[in-house]
Structure 1
Amino acid sequence: MANRLRSAAMLAAFGLLAVPFAVSAQTVLAAETSAAAPGRLLDARPLAPELGLEEAGRALAIRYGSTDGVAGQGAIEVTGALFLPQGAPPKGGWPLVAWAHGTVGIGDDCAPSRNVRSLRDRTYLNHWLAEGYAVVATDYQGLGSPGPHPYLDSRAAAYSTLDAIRAVQGGGFGLSGKVLIVGQSQGAGAAFATAGYAPDYAPDVDVRGTIATGIPNLAAAASAGTDPDAADKVDRIIAYLLYIASAAQQIDPKYDPAAVLTDRAMPAFAEAADTCVVDMFKAVVDAGLTRANSFKGDFWRYYAPVLKHAGYPTLKITTPVFIGTGSEDVDTPAPMQRALVESACAAGSTIEAHVYPGLDHSATLNRSSADSRIFARQAIAGKPVAATCSPAGAVRGDH
């Protein structure tokens, strides 16, 4: 039982994120499609108006080449979206925000470029457009493109993000070479990993800084305990476990979910392959799934070979990082975020950390924008960013 509870604590560190509703778009512009070379723009199409952002002067669905992040080699195609600010680009071009999204599901219909974004995310991305940044938003490998989605695989998310940057910067969209990598929750983890992979995988990409709110800390979560009193409570976080199990089986059929999931959990598992996150939460709640009645084995131990790919390649990031934490965050627990800040600082990263009193996981995203905007201006301009490794403010879970 202790191991099963520990796996739930680890899952809590991945957090929640985006809220999707499905739609599609129409072709106008196609680039060369003969080869899916990494960073090559293959197609650009206007998004349907309902899929756009209010502050965008132009919104496009894109398709581009990348590298299979699971295998570490081999050409693949990935989809995403590009949002350009209103008006003409400034001299030198618009700086670029590369947005790393949070959990939406693992089926193609859940891809963010096919869906209306949540009010929270629209508000946040509109803020960057109004500030004069273009926004490229990858769907990640296997979401809306051929092959399974390697859910939580940090290298796959990083390669997809870096090649999205390359694709649009070479597409004649009036972009500068300066880039910020930005993400929330699971997307914050993807953003941090992208910054870590960038020097080796994409040294040509000029990453000026990274902004991460509600960032996961897998290393701390894997060794954490959790409240035994919660074992019998219906827990929608089990949806994330089912996504992990489903994605693992799609990528490698040797993973048999029946080895660790109970008969009661198996119908919800069957839905995970093509059910987007809001409906997946509902499926878990409707089935009355708890940690006690969903697992018959040690989920964390069984899927450890898969989940090791959710870790960060390094904690020493060569460009400055902004980390925003809500003091009341229990989805990616605030003490674990603080521990990651301390570890990254100790590794030599320049971390500007902020704690937002009274705010939970989701509310921190838009509240942090007043501070991250200043950080972004400094980073884009190449000015020094002061490290803040021990921000003031108690967080939930302090003893």
Structure 2
Amino acid sequence: MADDCAPSRSLVDQQTGIYTAAMDQMTADLVGEGYAVVPTDYEGPGTPGPHPYLMGQSAGAAMTDIVPAAHELSPDLSSRWVAMGHSQGGQAALFTSRFTDAYSPGLDLVGIVALSPPSQLGAVIEMTDDAGRAGATPQEEAAAGSAGSGSAFLGPLVVAAARVSDVPLEQVVSPPGRALLPDPESRCIAELSRQDSFGGMDLRTFLAEDADLRRIRRTVGTNDAAELHPYVPVLVVHGTRDSTVPMLLSDTLTRQLRERGTDVEYVRVPGADHISVLEESAPRVRAWVTGALAG
């Protein structure tokens, strides 16, 4: 969420290196095959204003906006493009499906690649209050497990949702949680995951005991990939040993998308974790991108 965490600053600020370095080889391979690859910083990082972390509407617009920006620099680029991202970027790629037609005239989104995308975020927030209730669905159980394991990304998600919803943070964040609120403005993902930051506090401790999460839930739900209905082919890739974004969430997401009629290919990568899935799925991903752009 901090300006220093903008991907475009990764060459001079090593805080973001854990994620940008993971994507470097895949990017280099695609460029080597003749594709233009244009990354986004999203809304906020590196520029004035807060970053709406995991707010899919903002992220999808940011990923779409870089395509006409690229055409300003190189007018001979094709109008056909594929949205692709990892983790937070996977969610952003899925949300580009809401920014076609009138939003981006003259551009032709032909496919979406989502690697380890977070989803079921509404269930994550819902289950923090009611983790053990009878009849919980598998995705809700996975969400509850995520919520209980720490808030390295869930805490910042609540902060972002509160800002978008205009909910005063003191109404939803506990006193111990409030002590962490300056961290996202100065620390990047590796530091936020440490025990002295969000990585050392589970979401239930981060939230105030009497927190009214109704507006937070609505905002998170609106920005959850589980609510999307893409009309272009989608490739979802997930590692079976991912402990950051549990694979069960993508199991559920692909089922939801298929039930709405979306053309989804789902690849589970045996033994891959949240980072290694990039390298281990790269040949499959490149082949899929080539096929999508070829029609």
TM-score bracket relative to the smaller structure: 0.7 to 0.9
Counterpart residue type for residue 63 of structure 2: T
Q: Are 2:242 and 1:329 aligned? A: yes
2:290 aligned partner: 377
Q: Are 2:87 and 1:192 aligned? A: no
Q: Are 2:210 and 1:294 aligned? A: no
Percent sequence identity over matched residues?
26
Shift of 1:211: 0.8
1:215 aligned partner: 117
* Residues 286 and 169 (structure 1), Cα distance of their counterparts in 2 relative to 1, 3 Å cut: closer
2:136 aligned partner: none
Report the more deviating stretch, 261-270 or 187-196: 261-270
Taking only aligned residues, the RMSD between alpha carbons, in angstroms, comes to 2.9
| Structural mapping, 1:236-251, within 5 Å | 237-248=150-161, 250-251=163-164
Count matched residues. Answer: 273
Matched residue SS, 1:370: helix
- The CA distance in 2 between the partners of 1:344 and 1:271, in whole Å, is 35
1:266 aligned partner: 178
Q: Which has the higher contact order (CA 8 A, sep 6+)?
A: 2
Task: Tell me which of 252, 255, 273 is aligned to 2:167.
Answer: 255
| Structural mapping, 1:301-340, within 5 Å | 301=214, 303-312=216-225, 315-340=228-253
1:83 aligned partner: none
Task: Tell me which of 320, 342, 353 is aligned to 2:266.
Answer: 353
1:225 aligned partner: 141
1:96 aligned partner: none
**What's the TM-score once normalised by structure 1's chain length?**
0.61
1:98 aligned partner: none
Matched residue SS, 2:112: strand
| Structural mapping, 1:1-399, within 5 Å | 106-116=1-11, 117=17, 118-172=20-74, 174-218=76-120, 221=124, 222=126, 224-225=140-141, 235=149, 237-248=150-161, 250-251=163-164, 254-282=166-194, 284-285=196-197, 288-291=200-203, 293-297=205-209, 298=211, 300-301=213-214, 303-312=216-225, 315-382=228-295
Shift of 1:242: 3.2
**What's the TM-score once normalised by structure 2's chain length?**
0.80
* Residues 200 and 121 (structure 1), Cα distance of their counterparts in 2 relative to 1, 3 Å cut: same
Shift of 1:374: 1.2
* Residues 286 and 115 (structure 1), Cα distance of their counterparts in 2 relative to 1, 3 Å cut: same
Counterpart residue type for residue 264 of structure 1: P
Shift of 1:149: 1.7
Structure with the higher fraction of residues in helix conformation: 2
Asked if structure 1 preserves the Cα contact closer than 8 Å seen for 2:142 and 2:249, the reply is no
Asked if structure 1 preserves the Cα contact closer than 8 Å seen for 2:152 and 2:199, the reply is no
Which sections of structure 2, spanning at least 5 residues, go unmatched? 12-16, 128-139
2:132 aligned partner: none
Counterpart residue type for residue 58 of structure 2: A
Counterpart residue type for residue 233 of structure 2: P
Which sections of structure 1, spanning at least 5 residues, go unmatched? 1-105, 383-399
Deviations 1:117-173 (A, max 9, x none): 432121221222122211111111122223222222212112222121011113236
- The CA distance in 1 between the partners of 2:199 and 2:96, in whole Å, is 36
Shift of 1:365: 1.8
